[in-house]
Amino acid sequence: MRPAVQYRYECHQYGGVEALGHTSRDHYNFVNRLKMKAIEGGDAQVVIDKLSQRAADEDDFFYGLNWIAWVYLICGAFVGINNHWKNVMFGCCFLSDETIDTFVWLFEVFKKCMGGVCPVLLFTDQDQAMSNALSQVFPNTRARLCQWHLYQNAVSHFGTLKSDDTFSDAFKKCLRGCYDSVEFEASWDYMMEKYGLEGDKWLACLYQLKDKWSTTLSKDFFSAGILSSQRSESTNNAIGFQASKITSLYDFFCMFQNTISRWRQTETNDEFVDSKSVPKSYFPMTGMLRHASQIYTATMLRDFEQEFGYSLGTICELLTMDDTILVYKVWPQKHPQRTHQVTFDCVNTFVSCSCRNYEEVGMLCYHCLRVLHMHSVSEIPSSYILRRWTKIAKTEVWDRLKQQRVNMSSLKKDCIPWRFQMSRVYNNLIIRSHDNEEARKIMEKGYMCDLAHVLTVFANINLGDSESGVGESTASNSSTITVFDPPWDKTKGRSVRPKSGI
């Protein structure tokens, strides 16, 4: 809550301003002192110290630092989705500019953070510097352009057509409304001819990149059905909804941590609901729908249920049959022109569709479900169950964490008898020596010698970890890096009278 809201709440709780005992100015001053105390070592320095401490306490925590100065840097987030179709934060960064070198540094750090594993797919805007950096650091990563950004750029680029809904519909159809490459080419040519855009250079360049933004031409690889980078945009909004001119870096860091905690709690709740709840459907829970309710998360089950409902409204016609291989033509009753071919192997339960929905999204389309239902297949074939959409998607992670806890527990159990034994023998020796001055000196000298040897052992271990790259994430601590806040400067348009908190 903001200080003003806090003060009004306290007044209400205590029965009025007179009963509260302090004025609103006292309250503002107290809140300001608390903020200053939290960052009394320097705003950016406190954040770096927090990162260093977390890296020391958590084995899987990583951060990279080149240099930092809090002058409203560019904030970027690496966001993905989990098996409940909710946001997952892979990382967050602050950049001083948007040049190729900066993006190269960022992607290199992200790659290092992920243990050298490169992303399969990245959605970005039309930033050329980012595109060049991606090709250098992630040469095998498929880059896709955000459809939302493309649409906004198209609307702003063609000012005269901004209010024309027919142009908007035609462009959206090229983005994601075509069923195959033939329909895409026809739709693009129709749009260019109808609105007289044949000589437009922006559209000509966009057409050269059609494989990066048209869903029709990008069904040859898995993209989880994502069409834009709006998850990243919404993440920026979720984290920085309170950001203002007087927001400190530490304030932002706290907002970011709160957002991550909220997302993780949501994911934990989703996991609990999926493990305990009984799924319901408008359709009878039999056959493939019942099987889907057992394996898919609640969110993905709704998508499967939708595809299952579409399959009931389709017409299926046998085209060819070669031994055990059958080829069908499937189309919706309302759209007879949108036909797709489904190939089905009766022996191996192999099914594929020309729409390539499974290759793109990881879930069978309603064309395939229609054919499987015709052949009385009561369960989804195991080869078409993508693990990432199932309830057990994180089983490997759970098993690994469980094993770590077992190892730590056994290690503690092994150390406990030794600790008790050493405490007992040293305590007996201390008791026997405390009346003799010479014996006490020997004990004190022996302690200092043992302490030096033990510290040397731990120092060698830490040195070995740093040389092997294990401890690099903890190298940026307060003893080696000192960051000072930049001086406040009067910006253009800022009020001459300083406001509270600046």
In order of 176, 219, 337, 361, 382, the CA distances from 358 in angstroms are 17, 9, 22, 5, 13
pLDDT for 499:
45
Q: Which residues pair with 142 in a beta bridge?
A: 121
Show pLDDT as tens, one digit a residue, over the chain (502 residues).
Answer: 788 888 888 888 888 888 888 888 888 888 877 766 655 545 667 777 777 887 777 777 777 766 555 456 677 888 888 999 888 888 888 787 888 998 998 999 888 888 888 888 888 877 888 889 999 999 999 888 888 778 777 777 776 776 777 888 888 888 888 878 888 999 999 999 888 888 888 888 889 888 888 888 888 778 887 776 555 555 655 555 455 666 677 777 778 888 888 888 999 899 888 888 888 888 888 899 999 999 999 999 999 999 999 999 999 999 999 888 999 999 998 888 888 999 999 888 999 999 888 988 899 999 999 999 999 999 999 999 999 999 988 887 777 777 777 776 666 556 666 776 777 788 778 878 878 888 888 988 888 888 888 888 877 776 655 554 443 433 334 344 555 555 555 555 444 444 444 3
Domain borders along the chain are 147-228, 296-389
What is the per-residue pLDDT across 115-143, written as a single tens digit (0 to 9) for each?
888 888 888 877 888 889 999 999 999 88
pLDDT for 477:
40
* Structure letter (DSSP) for residue 282: S
What is the per-residue pLDDT across 265-285, written as a single tens digit (0 to 9) for each?
999 899 888 888 888 888 888
Task: State phi, psi for 77 to the nearest 5 degrees.
Answer: -130, 140
Full-model pTM: 0.66
| Calpha distance 25→17 (Å, rounded) | 12
pLDDT for 497:
44
| Calpha distance 182→191 (Å, rounded) | 14
- Matching residue, tokens 């090709």: 135
Cα radius of gyration rounded to whole Å, the chain: 31
What is the per-residue pLDDT across 130-184, written as a single tens digit (0 to 9) for each?
889 999 999 999 888 888 778 777 777 776 776 777 888 888 888 888 878 888 9
| Calpha distance 103→129 (Å, rounded) | 7
CA-based nearest residue to 228, from 358, 138, 122: 122
pLDDT for 379:
93
pLDDT for 413:
59
